[in-house]
Amino acid sequence: MVKKIVKLIKENIFLVIVIGFMAVNFFVALRLNVFRYNNFDFGKFDQGNMTQMVWNTLRGRVMYLTDYFGSNVPRWAMSHVDPILLLFVPVFAIFPHPMTLAYAQLVLVILSALFIFEITRMELKSKSAACFFSFAYLLYPSMGFINGTMGFHGVTAAVPFFLAAFYLFEKMYKEDSFSKKKVILFWILLVITMSGKEQIPLYIIMWGLFILLFRTTKGEGATLKFKLNKDWLKKFFNLKPARLGLSMIIFGLLWFVIAFFVVIPKYAPLRTESYKKFVESINVSFVSNSDVTLPNYFLSRYGDFGSSYKEVIINMLLSPKKAIKVFLSGDRLDSLNRTFAPVSYLPLANPFMLLISAPDFAINYMTTSEGLGTEEIENHRISMIIPVLFISSIYAVSFLASLFEELLPKYKNIKTALVVVISGVVLISCVKTSSDYNNPMYLWFNQAIKKRVFAKYDQELIKDSNLQVGTVVRLPDLDVKDYACAKAVVEMIPDGASVSGPDNLGTHLSMRETYAIYPSLWNSADYVIVNVLSRKLLAILQLNTNIVRDVTKNVIASKDYKLILGCGNLFLFQRGASQDKLEPYPIQERYVYDYKYNFEFTDTLKVVDFKLPARVKRGIPDKNTIVYQRSGDGALDGFVLYMTYVNKEDQSIYQVANLPSFAINRPSDWTKERYYIENVDVALPSYLKPGNYQVFVSLSNKIKYRSLYLGDLIVE
């Protein structure tokens, strides 16, 4: 038995090596995914949305999620058609977790290296070349980002099914054996592939064209001489590859038309209605010609070519100079280089096969909106381009090796040698570019052990038990990645509760019917999480950032919401837990104030009075009061005020932003010589270690930061 196993391993040593590397690759990627999940790097967009859709599907709401504006709508209302997600519902039912989809996809994508191995071995007749290409595929820089940092996307999940379909077709073609069972399996793989995203049917159309042009020369096709007439056409389309290619074109076109021209426009009104409700809730005028109201939300990305499908397509075709200029504008030449350099530009030697990926090159490179970066190798939108790059590279090696064999017939083994050498060059190129382009899989060790490092601060000074009130010291800047804080917020929200919160908590809180991006549903969600530095929704809609301040001001003043936790840059409010609200708002401006102190915070700001509680119980709200005076002409733009608590025993630091001076009246808006009284709600979390703390009010704009000592506080 042992001898048989050893013999089997020896006979398949290259495959064994590939499987071993796949296992290493999987565990490295898994480590990165777990690390990023625990550090709240996966947000609502897109991992949280994917999880929410599967969770809702299991409860009868097929492919429903909370959209940009807080409404629960089917996926198609967000201009995406990717029902491939339904394949993962059984897996999620067994392993319900926010990262189940990402882990399942990771398994599939890494296993797809086996199809690269088999395609290479079949075409190049070299197991060593197959090993090299499989390694290169897993080390391709974009694969590192896709597997290690991006979470689940339907377009990525489609990759292994596309590769399986390609391998199956090429095997049928080379063997000239198109059996019924194989063709049925082929179509199953094609349907799953097309369900990955709405534009993937275009790949199938391009592939069908490729088959008609280049895969009809086996068997009967080899003897069929071209003659454009009815009889020739009848014989041509009687060929099995031709019939298959034509049916792929027809079916792909039908799917594409239904997705883009029927399904997405049909559900677009749901998005418009959701947008109307959202703008009404934040007291902003509805704009009827907004990008949100277009038949396809993403049409605005091609706005320079038109505002409808017809206009965009026609203008791209009739304005080739403009199209080329857009295609090569900005950093796109660099993106093209980063896409092709890892495979040593080999696909360019096989352009007809490369054209199968033309749809995504057009979609990603023809955008005219600034700052999208849809073509960048760090973006999941490159997913389907990758398998085509490798397939066309493999066949390019075959073409080049055969060409050199014809040119140098005296050298019998030149083809075999060239196949191995060129395949090795591709592997070396992928390794080098992985390092050059910071492939996170290649650099996993640095990412895994990376720790947050604070700037140097006056540690010895704050240990002084006789530290004088009013002393200004240098303490760490406000920590906007306080993972303990984020975890505490998540743990306080019960299952089933509706939430309005920041994007970065969206994956952890995705297994519920409603999770909206704040400020959506700010006045109706069961829980509202305010991240004072979050701007995602406003950036998407290009709304004024002051809207966050205005809405947060309303949350603070609302009798319906109670602050139950504040830490770092996060504040958690619960609906229905009423509390007394200060009137007027908790930051007041005065011309005259009977000040007690004259502590100079900066050359522009003074602290003239304050009041702290002597003791605070964790989880029970209390208040700090701090009075400032704007004393100089220096700018306070971008400055944030926050409280810093330093444990006197171990110097551990806890921080929380001051919400009133953020949401209601910012330091940058304060007038010279006037006084500002800020009443800060204190809701210290339960994870904070009890003990004696030094209390500081801190000020930062990420460049300058300092803290003023106010006294001590006992935390119980």
Q: What was the pLDDT predicted at 461?
A: 61
Residue 503 has pLDDT above 70, yes or no: yes
- Can you tell me the distance from the alpha carbon of 150 to that of 203, in angstroms, rounded to the nearest whole number? 23
- Domain range list for the chain: 159-280, 459-477+582-715, 483-575
**What integer pLDDT is reported at residue 161 of this predicted model?**
98
Q: What is the pLDDT of residue 456?
A: 46
CB atoms within 10 A of CB 183: 17
Q: What is the DSSP letter of 655?
A: E
Which residues have a Cβ under 8 Å from the Cβ of 617 and sit 6 or more positions away? 715, 716
- Map tokens 């197991």 to a residue: 127
Question: Strand 515-517 relative to strand 499-501: parallel, antiparallel, unpaired?
Answer: parallel
pLDDT above 80 (res 394): yes
Residue 216 pLDDT > 50, yes or no? Answer: yes
Residue 542 is predicted with a pLDDT of 58
pLDDT (0 to 100) of residue 21:
94
CATH number among 3.40.50.2300, 2.60.40.3880, 3.20.20.70, 1.10.3720.10, domain 459-477+582-715: 2.60.40.3880
**Which residues in 245-270 are b (16+ Cβ under 10 Å) and which e?**
bbebbebbeebbeebbeebbeebbeb
**pLDDT recorded at residue 383:** 95
Query: DSSP letter string over 562-628?
Result: EEEEEEBTEEEEEET------SS-SEEEES-------EESSSSEEEEEEE--SEE-TTS-EEEEEEE
What's 229's DSSP letter? Answer: S
Is pLDDT of 211 > 90?
yes
pLDDT of residue 562: 87
Q: How far is CA 550 from the centre of its chain?
A: 28
The pair of structure tokens assigned to 447 is: 């990412």
Angle at 484 between CA 480 and CA 487, to 5 degrees: 105
The predicted-structure confidence for 512-564, as pLDDT tens digits, reads as follows: 999 999 889 999 999 999 887 666 666 565 566 667 777 888 888 788 888 88
Higher confidence at residue 499 or residue 464?
499
Residue 511 pLDDT > 70, yes or no? yes
Question: According to the 3-state scheme, what is the secondary structure of 450-479?
Answer: CCCCCCCCCHHHHCCCCCCCCCEECCCCCC
Judged against a pLDDT cut of 50, whether residue 451 lies above it is answered with no
pLDDT tens-digit readout, 7-49: 777 778 999 999 999 999 999 999 889 988 998 989 998 899 9
Residue 114: the pLDDT is: 97
Helix (H) and strand (E) counts in the chain: 29, 18
Distance between CA atoms of 216 and 243, rounded to whole angstroms?
10
- For residue range 54-81, list pLDDT tens digits in order: 999 999 999 999 998 999 999 999 889 9
Of the given ranges (170-174, 235-239, 289-293, 479-483), which has the lowest mean pLDDT? 289-293
Confidence band of 458 (pLDDT split at 50, 70, 90): low
Q: Are strands 653-657 and 622-630 parallel, antiparallel or unpaired?
A: unpaired
- Amino acid 534: pLDDT: 67
Q: Which helix (H) or strand (E) holds 676?
A: strand 675-682
Other beta carbons within 10 Å of 149: 18
Q: Which residues, at least 6 apart from 278, have a Cβ–Cβ distance to it below 8 Å? A: 68, 69, 70, 520
What is the reported pLDDT for 231?
83
Instruction: Check whether 578 has a pLDDT greater than 70.
Output: no
At 691, give phi and psi (nearest 5°).
150, -170
Residue 232, pLDDT > 90, answer: no
Long-range contacts of 608-617 (CB under 8 A, 24+ apart): 608/675, 610/697, 610/710, 612/695, 612/710, 612/711, 612/713, 613/682, 613/713, 614/713, 614/714, 615/713, 615/714, 615/715, 615/716, 616/682, 616/684, 616/713, 616/714, 616/715, 616/716, 617/715, 617/716
pLDDT for 449 equals 43
Whether the pLDDT of residue 447 is over 60: the answer is no
Please indicate whether residue 242 or residue 231 has the higher confidence score (pLDDT): 242
| pLDDT one-digit tens code per residue, 314-324 | 888 888 899 89
Nearest by Cα to 489 from 209, 686, 301, 628: 686
pLDDT of residue 457: 54
pLDDT higher than threshold 90 for residue 696: yes
Q: What is the mean pLDDT of residues 222-241?
A: 82
413 token code pair? 């083994």
Percent of the chain surpassing pLDDT 90: 50
Residue 346 has pLDDT above 50, yes or no: yes
- Predicted pLDDT at 190: 98
pLDDT band of 465, cuts 50, 70, 90:
low
Q: How far is CA 131 from CA 88, 137, 277, 423, in A?
A: 30, 10, 55, 9
Highest-confidence segment of 80-89, 402-411, 603-612: 80-89
Confidence label for 446 from pLDDT (cuts 50, 70 and 90):
very low
CB 13 within 8 Å of CB 130: no
> pLDDT (tens digit, 9 = 90+) per residue, 395-413?
999 999 988 888 877 776 7
Over the stretch 629-645, which tens digit does the pLDDT of each residue have? 998 777 788 788 898 99
pLDDT band at 463 (very low <50, low <70, confident <90, very high): low
Q: What is the DSSP string of 263-322?
A: IHHHHHHHHHHHHHHHHHHTT----TTSGGGSSSGGGGGGGGG-SSHHHHHHHHHH-HHH
How large is the average pLDDT for residues 238-255? 95
How confident is the prediction for the chain on average, in pLDDT?
A: 87
Residues 6+ apart with CB under 8 A from 134: 18, 21, 22, 113, 114, 116, 117, 120
Yes or no: say if 65 and 271 are a contact pair by the CB < 8 Å rule. Answer: no
